């Protein structure tokens, strides 16, 4: 029972299953986001974030530091680089290659 409304809570079951489209035959891939130059002076240069590309193409990117955060990019690496690539100033370094 929902304590606020007093109504009985019911769980909705998903009727569609999401099937993975394989990004690579080896499964998830780890990477580092490397910044080669930092015109804004905010992130610095070198490895600025760590990430994982999941087998369905979704990417999780983790920013370390004092205010660490993790972001999810359902549209994959290309979407991430559109925002954080800074026109080639940042690149992906695959750790398993």
CB 53 within 8 A of CB 29: yes
Sequence spans of domains, the chain = 29-94
The string of pLDDT tens digits covering residues 20-69 is 555 555 789 999 999 998 877 777 889 999 999 999 999 999 998 889 99
- Residue 16, pLDDT score: 45
Provide the pLDDT for residue 42.
Answer: 79
Q: How far apart are CA 73 and CA 92, in angstroms?
A: 14
The DSSP bridge partners found for residue 27 are none
């Amino acid at each position: 029972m929902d304590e606020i409304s007093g109504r009985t809570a019911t769980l909705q079951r998903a009727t569609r299953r999401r099937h993975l489209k394989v990004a690579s035959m080896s499964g998830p891939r780890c990477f580092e986001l490397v910044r080669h130059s930092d015109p804004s002076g905010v992130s610095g240069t070198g490895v600025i974030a760590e990430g994982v590309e999941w087998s369905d193409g979704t990417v999780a990117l983790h920013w370390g530091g004092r205010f660490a955060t993790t972001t999810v990019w359902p549209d994959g690496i290309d979407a991430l680089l559109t925002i954080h690539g800074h026109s080639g100033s940042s690149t992906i370094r695959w750790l398993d290659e």
